[in-house]
Amino acid sequence: MASKKTSKSAAAPAPRVTAGDGGTLRIGLIGYGFMGRAHANAIHQAGHFFRTGRRPVLQAVCGRSEEKVREFAAAWQCPNVETDWRTLVARPDIDAVDICTPNDSHMEIALACVKHRKMILCEKPLALDGTQGAAMVRAVEKSGLPNLVWYNYRFLPAVTLAKNIVASGELGKIFHYRANFLQDWTISADLPQGGAGLWRLDAKVAGSGVTGDLLAHCIDTARWINGDIVSVSAMTETFIKERMHNLTGKKQPVKIDDACAFLARFENGSMAVFESTRYARGHKALYTFEINGEHKSLAWDLHDLNRLSYFDHGVPGDRRGWSSIHCTDGDHPYAGRWWVPGLCLGYEHSFAHGLYEFLRSLDQPKAEKRFPDFRHALGTQHVCDAVLESARTGKTVKVKRA
């Protein structure tokens, strides 16, 4: 029921992609905020820099403000706009829906996508909690529709290299994993909660605070590189207890976690420390991780994202030390698709690589998936839920299996 009535053609000059063209993947994007821009850019870039059976095309974008959605469509040469996500999901000229809306709408939109037989690309975290996430997994797996959750950091060349090195077994037995994700943007008590961008402070819309927003990234990377997390012991804090709510105009209790630290055990016997906060003055988005194995250690820092720090105990003692691998060579994951060796990639490339992995899996459905699908993201959601439960109860919590 894609209606001509509600479909509004934007003034964008882009050529219209023919419906039913098997060589393209026509994506309908819901949401045009910060993540909408990151994904629209990835849709453009992936098609230009990576060859797969289906070239991604931004076919339609949806947002509640018609003026803003038209502006977005013009900027990204998107030929169609919608102001109701239900209409976008039902459009016959859409193959995949990219859900870039706040967390409380992921489940409803994803279930509608299944009903309309659309592939799904969903912004992280998968859902508000594991119960919603499990319902989403059941629905997509029953439908057989390809699905992805946009945990993007694993697709940076240095992070993928860390995964490949650990997978090769070179580190020997892994003892420790530690990760941080530090920000400082919510320190002011005058910052309201609710509405554009600030929905992240409203527990009803976000599900949780730093646990679902930031630690979920760290958990995705950790589980990908080091395997499943089996138990957690956590502590959270909400430093500002009340904030004005943008939608009600009233002061309301803040129910999200402003900071969270947790200890974890992995299935492989290693132990971990994770920390995240929005109250680390001076840090805007400092995501770091380190892995210590019997023979080698690896470390990575988002602020220097092209580099992987590498320590090899096998090197003769007088030359032993941390080295810094600039992951921009043709030998490094994804790097050879872009520029010449030595030239850097950025945050935005991680999304293009994620989309490429998804497209590649459409060509080779039996090959190992390098991207997080709904089931993997449910595993991450279960870790987040266990972390929040542990912080609430003061007890160590066993993580549910996805």
Q: Which residues bind ligand SOE (CB under 6 A)?
A: 183, 213, 217, 285
Question: Of 74 and 286, which has the nearer Cβ to ligand SOE?
Answer: 286
| Minimum distance of ligand SOE from residue 217's CB (angstroms) | 6
Minimum CB distance to ligand SOE, residue 69 (Å): 21
User: What's the rounded Cα separation, in Å, for the pair 152 and 38?
Assistant: 10
Cβ closest to ligand SOE, residue 47 vs residue 157: 157
C-alpha 127/C-alpha 377 separation (Å) is 9
Side chain identity at 262, as an amino acid letter? F
37/255 with CB nearer ligand SOE: 37
User: How far apart are CB 220 and ligand SOE at their closest, in Å?
Assistant: 11
Q: Residue 283 has which token pair?
A: 């840090």
Nearer to ligand SOE, 244 or 285 (CB): 285
The maximal CA–CA distance of the chain, rounded, in angstroms, is: 74
Instruction: Please state, in angstroms and rounded to a whole number, the distance separating the CA atoms of residues 277 and 284.
Output: 10
- Taking the complex as a whole, the smallest distance from the CB of residue 209 to ligand SOE amounts, in Å, to 10
Helices 130-143 and 106-115: crossing angle in degrees, nearest 10, is 10
Beta carbon nearer to ligand SOE, 38 or 57: 38
Closer residue to ligand SOE (CB): 201 or 386:
201
Looking at the Cβ atoms of 82 and 213, the one nearer to ligand SOE is: 213
What is the number of the residue whose Cβ is closest to ligand SOE?
A: 213
Rounded to a whole number of angstroms, the minimum distance from the CB of residue 210 to ligand SOE is 9
For residue 118, how many C-alpha atoms fall within 13 Å in the half-sphere facing its CB? 29
Do 63 and 99 meet the contact criterion of CB atoms below 8 Å apart?
no
Mention every residue, 6+ apart, whose C-beta is less than 8 A from residue 35.
100, 123, 150
* Degrees to nearest 5, angle at CA 98 with 117 and 4: 65
The residue among 80 and 183 lying less far from ligand SOE, judged by its C-beta, is 183
User: From the CB of 175, what's the least distance to ligand SOE, in Å?
Assistant: 28
What's the closest the beta carbon of residue 345 comes to ligand SOE, in angstroms?
A: 16
Q: Check whether the bond before 125 is cis (ω within 30° of 0).
A: yes
Query: Long-range CB contacts (< 8 A, 24+ apart) of 304-311?
Result: 305/156, 305/158, 305/345, 305/346, 305/347, 306/156, 306/157, 306/158, 306/344, 306/345, 307/158, 308/158, 308/159, 308/161, 308/162, 310/165
Q: 176 or 283, CB closer to ligand SOE?
A: 283
Least separation in angstroms between residue 31's CB and ligand SOE is: 12
CB 20 to ligand SOE: min, Å: 34
- Cα–Cα distance, 155 to 50 (Å, whole number): 14
| Contact between residue 151 and residue 181 where contact means Cβ atoms under 8 Å apart | no
**Tokens describing residue 234:** 């956590």
